[in-house]
């Protein structure tokens, strides 16, 4: 069975390696195309560059005596052989200040002159016909204490054509093979490097796949994770933390709910087991209590989910009036009066109508239950929030941190509620982006709902 490498074309490493390889290939193709166009369309450009380089080489190898007189041209053996073998295509001549040739590679002591010129031009590039062959000539002036010299170097056109043809013919396949080897090597190096860089991501993915409801405390390791992906891992860990918190809260909520329902169920069972001597009024009271618990549990579950809310512009005073009508019977039973103080009647807020109704109703019910007979509960509605204020004994400083805990009940309450009313209020305010705070006043207590960054002191006014 032959081994075949597994390639995942959707992987990040494959895509990055392929993209980088294609980019490198595109650069090489453009470079090759540009070189080809230059050699075909502007071959004289390369000829002139090489010719000027040859002039510089000859100039650097001139040998002068102490007085500045030219003695010889001392070339390296390879270059000397080049001029000796190719005398019909490669020539150099040194012209003195009097216009005579001092040294020449082809033993011809005539300066190379452009058409119509009588003296060799200094620092020029021109073409001439020599022995029925076209030559390119480059010159450069060299100044010495004994006088000036003109270095002339000539190359035939056929030399450049043969040289270019041979170089392209020989280097073509070499260039293609070099490009292929470079591409394969580049892709292999990039793939290995990406594999090493993505190893922490694979480890994090494996760790994430092992996270279950019973081990939500696990977190992904940030060690060796690339800095570009650190925000993603951090956000995932933060999401796990929020899920763990929510999961823990739900378990505590279910345990507390079961405990709260267990007591009235046990009482009802005991009443029924008395063989017909059950107190009907007591049973009805227990049933009402359980119904209230269940209703509040349903409310709490409902307000804990944001998708259950339908936000719309509405007038706070209008909703408050509906809540007052609903709570009048309880207020009369407790001999408490309700007062609405909303100077900005037409002020609109964005909220869920039903949720705002429940929020205000629970706060009013709480205030009524803790107010003395004959006192009043005042609702103050402003543009930046509202306050529900009673005239009761206030809140013990030790109880303030516990007010919004689920199933917590103050010992001096008159009713037998489940202790969920204020927790429901806090959930509603949180979903709306509001703040809900409680404080003692003189006299009584005040629950302040702020729509934004309003100061609670102003809401207590």
- Residue 70, SS3 per DSSP: strand
Q: Which residues make Cβ contacts (< 8 Å) with residue 306, sequence separation at least 6?
A: 431
Higher pLDDT among residues 435 and 209, named by residue: 435
Structure tokens at 95: 């012209």
Q: Do residues 418 and 261 make contact, with C-beta atoms less than 8 angstroms apart?
A: no
pLDDT tens digits along 108-158: 888 988 887 888 888 888 889 888 888 989 999 999 888 899 999 998 888
pLDDT of residue 459: 45
CA dist 444 and 436 (Å) reads 17
pLDDT tens digits along 204-259: 777 777 777 666 677 777 777 667 677 877 888 888 887 777 767 666 666 656 65
φ/ψ region of 264 (left if φ > 0, alpha if ψ in -120 to 50, else beta) reads: alpha
pLDDT of residue 418: 58
Give the residue carrying structure tokens 């081990």.
215
For the segment 9-26, the average pLDDT, to the nearest whole number, is: 70
Structure tokens at 252: 């505590």
Instruction: Say yes or no to pLDDT of 192 above 80.
Output: no
pLDDT tens digits along 33-65: 766 665 555 555 566 778 888 899 999 999 998
The CB density around residue 220, as the number of other CB atoms within 10 Å, is 21
Instruction: Say yes or no to pLDDT of 8 above 70.
Output: no
Q: Which residues make Cβ contacts (< 8 Å) with residue 439, sequence separation at least 6?
A: 400, 445, 446, 448, 456, 460
Closest CA to 419 of 307, 306, 321, 299: 299
Rg of the chain over all Cα atoms, to the nearest angstrom: 49
Q: Do residues 120 and 150 make contact, with C-beta atoms less than 8 angstroms apart?
A: yes
Instruction: Say yes or no to pLDDT of 1 above 50.
Output: no
The proportion of the chain whose per-residue pLDDT surpasses 90, expressed as a percent, equals 11
How does DSSP assign 242-293, residue by residue? HHHHHHHHHHHHHHHHHHHHHHHHHHHHHHHTTTT---HHHHHHHHHHHHHH
pLDDT of residue 122: 85
Beta strands (DSSP E) in 48-203 are: 62-64, 70-73, 90-95, 101-104, 125-130, 133-144, 147-156
User: Cα-flanking dihedrals φ and ψ of residue 31, to 5°?
Assistant: -65, -45
Instruction: Say yes or no to pLDDT of 329 above 70.
Output: yes
φ/ψ region of 276 (left if φ > 0, alpha if ψ in -120 to 50, else beta) reads: left
Q: Do residues 155 and 49 make contact, with C-beta atoms less than 8 angstroms apart?
A: no
Strands 435-440 and 70-73: unpaired
Structure tokens at 128: 């001439």
Higher pLDDT among residues 185 and 339, named by residue: 339
pLDDT tens digits along 366-416: 889 888 888 899 998 888 899 999 888 888 777 777 777 766 666 555 555
User: Cα-flanking dihedrals φ and ψ of residue 132, to 5°?
Assistant: 65, 20
Query: Quick check: pTM over 0.75?
Result: no
pLDDT of residue 3: 44
Higher pLDDT among residues 71 and 32, named by residue: 71
Per-residue confidence at 163, pLDDT binned at 50, 70, 90? low
pLDDT of residue 392: 82
CA dist 83 and 136 (Å) reads 16
pLDDT tens digits along 276-317: 555 666 667 666 666 665 666 666 666 556 666 788 999 888
Give the residue carrying structure tokens 């040739």.
101
Closest CA to 147 of 66, 74, 70: 70
Q: Do residues 94 and 73 make contact, with C-beta atoms less than 8 angstroms apart?
A: yes
Q: For 330, how many CA atoms within 13 A lie in the half-sphere containing its CB?
A: 18
pLDDT of residue 458: 41
CA dist 215 and 34 (Å) reads 62
Q: For 26, how many CA atoms within 13 A lie in the half-sphere containing its CB?
A: 6
Per-residue confidence at 450, pLDDT binned at 50, 70, 90? very high
CA dist 360 and 349 (Å) reads 14
Per-residue confidence at 457, pLDDT binned at 50, 70, 90? very low
Q: What angle do CA 318, 323, 327 make, to 5 degrees?
A: 150
Q: Do residues 293 and 260 make contact, with C-beta atoms less than 8 angstroms apart?
A: yes
């Amino acid at each position: 069975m032959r081994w075949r490498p597994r390639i995942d074309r959707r992987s990040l490493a494959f895509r990055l390696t392929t993209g980088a390889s294609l980019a490198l290939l595109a650069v090489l193709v453009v470079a090759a195309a540009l070189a080809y166009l230059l050699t075909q369309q502007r071959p004289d450009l390369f000829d002139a560059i090489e010719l000027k380089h040859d002039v510089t080489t000859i100039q650097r190898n001139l040998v002068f005596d102490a007085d500045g007189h030219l003695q010889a041209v001392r070339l390296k053996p390879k270059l000397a052989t080049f001029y000796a073998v190719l005398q019909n295509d490669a020539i150099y001549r040194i012209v003195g200040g009097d216009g005579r040739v001092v040294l020449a590679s082809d033993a011809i002591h005539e300066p190379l002159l452009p058409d119509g010129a009588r003296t060799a031009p200094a620092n020029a590039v021109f073409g001439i016909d020599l022995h029925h062959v076209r030559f390119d000539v480059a010159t450069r002036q060299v100044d010495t204490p004994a006088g000036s010299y003109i270095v002339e170097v000539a190359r035939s056109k056929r030399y450049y054509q043969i040289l270019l043809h041979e170089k392209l013919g020989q280097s073509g396949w070499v260039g293609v093979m070099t490009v292929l080897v470079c591409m394969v090597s580049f892709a292999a190096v990039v793939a290995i490097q990406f594999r090493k860089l993505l190893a922490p991501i694979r480890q994090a993915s494996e760790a994430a796949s092992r996270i279950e409801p019973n081990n939500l405390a696990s977190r992904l390791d940030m060690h060796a994770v690339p800095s570009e992906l650190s925000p993603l891992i951090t956000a995932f860990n933060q999401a796990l933390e929020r899920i763990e918190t929510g999961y823990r809260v739900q378990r505590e909520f279910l345990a507390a709910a079961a405990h709260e329902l267990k007591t009235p169920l046990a009482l009802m069972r005991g009443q029924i087991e008395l063989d017909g001597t059950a107190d009907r009024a007591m049973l009805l009271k227990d049933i009402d209590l359980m119904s209230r618990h269940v209703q509040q549990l349903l409310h709490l579950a409902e307000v804990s989910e944001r998708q259950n809310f339908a936000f719309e512009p509405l007038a706070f005073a209008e909703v408050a009036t509906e809540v007052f009508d609903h709570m009048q019977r309880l207020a009369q039973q407790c001999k408490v009066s309700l007062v609405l103080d909303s100077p900005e009647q037409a002020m609109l807020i964005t909220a869920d109508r039903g949720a705002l109704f429940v929020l205000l109703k629970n706060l009013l019910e709480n205030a009524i239950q803790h107010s003395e007979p004959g006192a009043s509960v005042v609702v103050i509605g402003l543009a930046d929030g509202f306050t529900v204020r009673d005239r009761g004994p206030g809140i013990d400083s030790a109880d303030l941190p516990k007010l919004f805990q689920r199933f917590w009940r103050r010992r001096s309450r008159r009713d037998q509620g489940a202790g969920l009313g204020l927790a429901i209020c806090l959930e509603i305010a949180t979903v709306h982006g509001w703040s809900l705070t409680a404080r003692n006043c003189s006299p009584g207590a005040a629950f302040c709902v702020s729509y934004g960054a309003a100061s609670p002191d102003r809401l207590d006014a």
